[in-house]
Amino acid sequence: MVILDGKKISNDIKNEIALEVKSMTAKGNRPPHLAAIIVGNDGASLTYVGSKVRACERVGFDSSLISLSESINENELLDKVNQLNNDDNIDGYIVQLPLPKHIDSQKILMSVDPEKDVDGFHPTNFGRMALNLPTFISATPYGIMELLKRYDVQTEGKHTVVIGRSDIVGKPISLLMGLKTNPGNSTVTMVHSRTKNIKDLIKQADIIISALGIPNFVKEDMVKDGVVVIDVGITRVKDNSEKGYKIIGDVDYENVSKKASFITPVPGGVGPMTIAMLLKNTLQSYKG
Ligand code: GUN
């Protein structure tokens, strides 16, 4: 069994990016600049955005964190988005999700300039991804593809079962795994809350990609021997630690890992990859 070490690979990627930034700034160019808009005080969102800003420092990017009050209205937020669209010093930016309920997230995401949409959430970029055209691929699915690539996991002709159909993970990774690419070229089944015989389908998988958000949903008896397991779940479960919680994946790692050929740990698997890929997208935007 091989552990797909997202922490290590994301560090490799950050080092590669830092080297590129160093050589560009040595020539007198400004560094790439990533901005993040965060609305409100959601604990998990603040943690994620904080990690993204720290990662920028680490690779030599400039970063701007725009923190807005929970009570901001949709038009004020749209104004902010337009400001970033028109700021030539910003190569890419993200609007951290989820947004407060009184704001129409789709409307906001649609108003992000696709050329600065380093999250890859704009329909233009999602469509380009589906057609295998150059684009910004969303950080989490992009990170999964990069992990599979760097560990040379064979995906061609394999049966990939994606658990979950979210816009930011399940849907895009299902498309990517079915593209005529490597990694890719697999036969994809997407299962979700309305799927009948979900356990039978998961048991047929050569590759399981779980983005469900139910701790320890995938059990040893639901997988076949030699399965490749990508666990995208990051559910906070209260405990007695100093932080007050721990992060639990969708997969019962201790038992499922005994049957797996490759598996991602939680934490330290897909999570760190997402930040590295966001930086990669920002670098790509900078280079034009
Ligand atoms: N919320 C959870 N994941 C993400 C992400 O990848 N990007 C943004 N903007 N918000 C998120």
196 catalytic? Reply is no
Question: Is 220 within 8 Å of 257 (Cβ atoms)?
Answer: no
Which pLDDT value is given to residue 52?
Answer: 96
83 catalytic? Reply is no
The answer to whether the 28-113 and 139-271 domains have the same CATH topology is yes
How far does residue 207's CA lie from ligand 1's centre (Å)?
A: 24
Q: Domain spanning 139-271 has what CATH number?
A: 3.40.50.720
Output the six-digit token pair for 39: 């609305």
Which pLDDT value is given to residue 65?
Answer: 97
The answer to whether the CB of 276 is under 6 A from ligand 1 is: no
From the list 50, 20, 23, the residue with the least C-alpha distance to 36 is: 50
How far does residue 48's CA lie from ligand 1's centre (Å)?
A: 8
Q: Could you state, in chain order, the average pLDDT of each consecutive group of 10 residues for the chain (288 residues)? A: 98 98 98 98 94 97 98 98 98 97 98 98 98 98 98 98 98 98 98 97 98 98 98 96 96 98 98 98 97
171: three-class secondary structure by DSSP: helix
259: three-class secondary structure by DSSP: coil
The answer to whether the CB of 95 is under 6 A from ligand 1 is: yes
256: three-class secondary structure by DSSP: helix
From the list 115, 54, 67, 60, the residue with the least C-alpha distance to 95 is: 67
Beta bridge partners of 162: 190, 209
Which pLDDT value is given to residue 3?
Answer: 98
Question: If you ran DSSP here, which 8-state letter would residue 137 be given?
Answer: P
Q: Which of 112, 119, 281 to mutate to test the pocket of ligand 1 (most atoms within 8 A of CB)?
A: 119
CB-based contacts of 163: which residues, under 8 Å, 6+ apart?
Answer: 170, 191, 192, 198, 202, 208, 209, 210, 211, 212, 217, 218, 250
119 catalytic? Reply is yes
* Domain 28-113 = CATH 1.10.240.10: no
| Distance separating alpha carbons of residues 280 and 277, to the nearest angstrom | 5
How is the chain split into domains, by residue range?
Answer: 28-113, 139-271
Which pLDDT value is given to residue 237?
Answer: 95
Question: Is 202 within 8 Å of 160 (Cβ atoms)?
Answer: no
How far does residue 78's CA lie from ligand 1's centre (Å)?
A: 18
